[in-house]
Structure 1
């Protein structure tokens, strides 16, 4: 086998492999609530090809793959359902993480005024006459 045959085989293997994202979607795309059933199927069937193109594992060999790559990189607007669902997937996994309304860090206590607080709280040198 020469290099061209090996590249074709690996490309065919990548394209035929179902796309899964266990990190962001451990129960699958269809169960996530982010995608419709048809979008989930498109993402599973075409996601491996998009990921391989974007990651540089394979090079685009025709106009359709070149269009996929340009759309995935943001060089043009998505036109096919596959391109649209890939961009939707990218937006979902790259969205900013939500923070708690209670904050994510412990409050910082400023100890610079500690000396002043001691002066105010120290009542030992006050003479108070309580006799009336």
Structure 2
């Protein structure tokens, strides 16, 4: 695979169909400005953070520092990227009801050794 340049990455729109299948702007997590910054600069920031592209300017180094948490995000793209990372890496909520479905046909607790007696009236 050929190395991509900064210009090529800036032309590509950043998408995340796994976490945001309808896009960033329709998710409700991001403002219009944040979704536009994320769509425009997301590919570049992802390539810089993953090490696929070496930083060329101070701005590129700023993206990396903000993404790693070394400094506070300053630009709109840095803020949007940090917010995006917090959203996709947040802990998954569990159910208070558990994961196993317990329907009417589920008689694990009522085996042959059960002390429950059923009386039928004739």
- TM-score class, shorter-chain normalisation, is 0.7 to 0.9
Question: Residue in 2 aligned with 1:29?
Answer: 24
CA separation in 2, counterparts of 1:75 and 1:64? 14
Q: Select which of 77, 89, 96 maps to 1:82.
A: 77
CA separation in 1, counterparts of 2:29 and 2:77? 15
| CA RMSD after TM alignment | 2.5
Aligned length: 110
Query: How far 1:100 moved relative to its partner?
Result: 1.4
CA separation in 1, counterparts of 2:71 and 2:100? 40
Question: Relative contact order (C-alpha < 8 Å, sep 6+): which is higher?
Answer: 2
Matches within 5 A, 1:1-132: 10-105=5-100, 121=115
Gaps of 5+ in 2: 103-107, 116-122
Structure having the higher helix fraction is 1
Gaps of 5+ in 1: 1-5, 122-132
